[in-house]
Chain A
Amino acid sequence: AQSVAQPEDQVNVAEGNPLTVKCTYSVSGNPYLFWYVQYPNRGLQFLLKYITGDNLVKGSYGFEAEFNKSQTSFHLKKPSALVSDSALYFCAVRSVLSGGYNKLIFGAGTRLAVHP
Chain B
Amino acid sequence: DVKVTQSSRYLVKRTGEKVFLECVQDMDHENMFWYRQDPGLGLRLIYFSYDVKMKEKGDIPEGYSVSREKKERFSLILESTSTNQTSMYLCASSLSHRTGGGYTFGSGTRLTVV
Q: Among A42, A43, A102, point to the contact of B4 (Cβ < 8 A).
A: A43
**What are 16 A-B interface contacts by the 8 Å CB criterion?**
A41-B108, A43-B107, A43-B108, A44-B90, A44-B105, A45-B105, A46-B102, A51-B100, A94-B100, A101-B50, A101-B97, A102-B97, A103-B58, A104-B103, A105-B45, A106-B35
How many A residues have CB within 8 A of the partner chain? 26
Interface bin, chain B: 20 to 34
A94→B102 CA distance, assembly (Å): 9
A90→B92 CA distance, assembly (Å): 15
- A43-B90, A103-B45, A108-B41 known; 14 other A-B pairs, CB under 8 Å? A6-B42, A32-B100, A36-B102, A41-B107, A42-B107, A43-B106, A43-B107, A44-B92, A49-B100, A94-B100, A100-B97, A104-B102, A105-B45, A106-B43
Question: A residues bordering B, Cβ < 8 Å?
Answer: 6, 9, 32, 34, 36, 41-46, 49, 51, 90, 92, 94, 100-109
